[in-house]
Amino acid sequence: MSDEGFEINLTPPEVRELAKKNAEVNLLPDKSRKVYEQRYKVFQDWCTEQKVILLMGYNGALRREELVNMDIDDVDIKADCIIVTIPKTKNNSPRVFVITNTEWIAMIKKYVDLRAKNVKNNRFFLTYRKGRCINCPIGINTMGNVCKDIASFLNLPTPERYTGHCFRRSSATPLANCGGDLLTLKQHGGWKSSAVAEGYVEATRERKIEVANLIKSKRARTDDRNLLEIQGCSRTSPILDKDTTQFSANQAKEIRRETVTGGCGEKLCQCRECVYGASRRLDK
């Protein structure tokens, strides 16, 4: 169950409408229908609030205090994106993140539109009741329980383990799995330490399979002697001019020629293994 526009539902709308009508008319007694409608409205309000917190926390790798302190002026809503600025962070490193998903933008815009005009504080996240935001900002403890509440609603095991810090790990892991380098990861989460940033990346099954496939594909392109690489060559180590001095002038000339046209493809980049192999071929 979710408010219209807040979730893609693969069920055809006419089927949903018919099911809802039948449920209300045929299944709910008159005495229970009003109570059901009230509770369903509370559930809709809860979903609206939780989803926007989830979107902000996930896209920005935000801490619970960063969500609580988010100001309405920190959220710049454009036609095709939403730019969010986090001026105050735990390590005093301001961050900016952008949301470009059109459905997520629509959700956040709808949440902002529900904000009352007479609200006296500038907190972005206000308590959501009876279809509108009231003049009461969400506190740090309520914000910290959002992940646990979502986990409980999804019937996940041990929901109490889902703390307010889950958004940071949930944001860092897919970024790393999609090819984000360490610098990008540190900038995204505002981490100054590489070790700390790497600690937030969960070693997922998909990532382990990807690493295994890379190893397998690399082994198919090389023989057993050259599995260990050294930077500078696609096999072992870079060659220097002195590496060719043990060969005759003609052999060294031929080796350099092969260095330009084969092996790594650039002059003086052929590895020692390639050089010795070229020497053996010339000797034959």
Residue ranges in the chain assigned as alpha helix (H): 13-22, 30-60, 64-68, 102-113, 140-144, 146-153, 166-177, 182-189, 194-199, 205-220, 249-261, 272-283
Could you give the domains of the chain? 31-206 (1.10.443.10)
Output the pTM of the full model.
0.54
Average pLDDT, the chain: 69
Q: How does residue 120 score in pLDDT terms, banded at 50, 70 and 90?
A: confident
Structure tokens at 190: 């505002």
- What ranges make up the beta strands (E) of 69-121? 75-77, 82-86, 95-99
Q: 126 pLDDT exceeds 60?
A: yes
Give CA–CA dist 202/76, Å, rounded.
31
Q: 10 pLDDT exceeds 70?
A: no
Give, for 196, the enclosing helix (H) or strand (E): helix 194-199
Q: 270 pLDDT exceeds 80?
A: no
Structure tokens at 63: 């801490």
For 231-250, b/e burial (b = at least 16 CB within 10 A) is eebbbbeebeeebbeebeee
Structure tokens at 129: 């009741």
Give CA–CA dist 263/234, Å, rounded.
8
pLDDT in tens, 98-119: 999 988 898 888 888 878 777 7
Give CA–CA dist 156/147, Å, rounded.
11
pLDDT for 84 equals 93
